[in-house]
Structure 1
Amino acid sequence: MSYLNLDEYNRKWIFTHPSMPIEEKYHSLIKPMTQSRSAQFWKENISSQSPDAERFSNQDWPSKTNSWFNEVSWMKEWESDDIEMPADVIEHIDWQDDVTVYFCYEKYNVIETKWSVFKANWKNFLFYDDGPILLGRRRKEALWFASDGTVKLGEKQ
């Protein structure tokens, strides 16, 4: 099995927090990968040696400056009552709603979902905002969120 049930996920609270619970219809569409599957995905798509964003080497594509061409704030939108993601992010990620996305917190913690589910619940995903990277299946565009309330817009190298 490559996925955990959301109830088994150690950070389930980010999707069930009383201040911002997600709708029940999304629960089965948010698929945390098992640790071994997460590690494999991380190694193949993010870094073969670094376990998290704080320890990227200069060999890892996210640490290369040519991977990123803009940085915008997400905090104002996150704190607002509006559910929309920042316009610059939506403009950068012009994907169909059914595109499979991977929200990569760190080597052993990757969540698979659909772009529509991420857009609808992005604030929940960012309850834990310590450097996660969003990638789309067979897509070059990437987002790298930082806990200072910014997100880098770029492309996977």
Structure 2
Amino acid sequence: MSYLPLDQYQRKWIFTHQSMPVPAEDLEQIKPMSAQRAAQFWKDNISAQSPDSERLSSTDWPRKKECWRDEIDWMAEWESDEPDMPSAVLAHLDWQDDVTVYFCYEKYNIIETKWQIFKRHWKNFLFYDDGPILLARRRKETLWFHSDGKVKLGTHE
């Protein structure tokens, strides 16, 4: 099985929390990968040896300084009442709404969805902000969120 039903996802509450519930039609498009599929995706796209972003090696592309062009604050927008992502993030990721994106928390915890769903509910995804990396299918632009409220804007190999 490639995906877990959302009901079986250990962090389902981040999408159903009463303070920021995601509508049912959007929940259908939030697809946690099975552990096996997530591990393969992580190995192929982020790191062959490191299980999470805290332990990436200097040879993993996210640790290479040349991949990152800017770093901005995301926490202020996250804490505001406005739903929009930081404008610098939106400018960096000039993607069509139907682009498939992968929000990679760690080796066994990756969510696949569409860019429009991520943009609309980015605050839910960032309830866990311990180094997740956002990638998209056939796109080089990437984001790397940090728990200090910063997000790195860059490109990957």
CA drift at 1:17: 1.1
Q: Paired residue for 1:97? A: 97
Q: Paired residue for 1:17? A: 17
Are 1:46 and 2:46 an aligned pair? yes
Distance in 2, matches of 1:142 and 1:65, equals 13
Question: TM-score scaled by structure 1?
Answer: 0.99
Q: Paired residue for 2:8? A: 8
Question: TM-score scaled by structure 2?
Answer: 0.99
CA drift at 1:155: 0.2
Distance in 1, matches of 2:48 and 2:148, equals 26
SS across alignment from 1:29: coil
5+ residue gaps in structure 1? none
Q: How does 1:1-157 map to 2 (within 5 A)?
A: 1-157=1-157
Question: Percent identity at matched positions?
Answer: 68
Distance in 1, matches of 2:42 and 2:65, equals 20
CA drift at 1:57: 0.2
Distance in 2, matches of 1:13 and 1:148, equals 22
The one-letter code matched in structure 2 to 1:6 is L
5+ residue gaps in structure 2? none
Q: C-alpha offsets along residues 104-142 of structure 1, whole Å, 9 cap, x if unaligned? A: 000000000000000000000000000000000000000
RMSD value over aligned CA atoms?
0.5
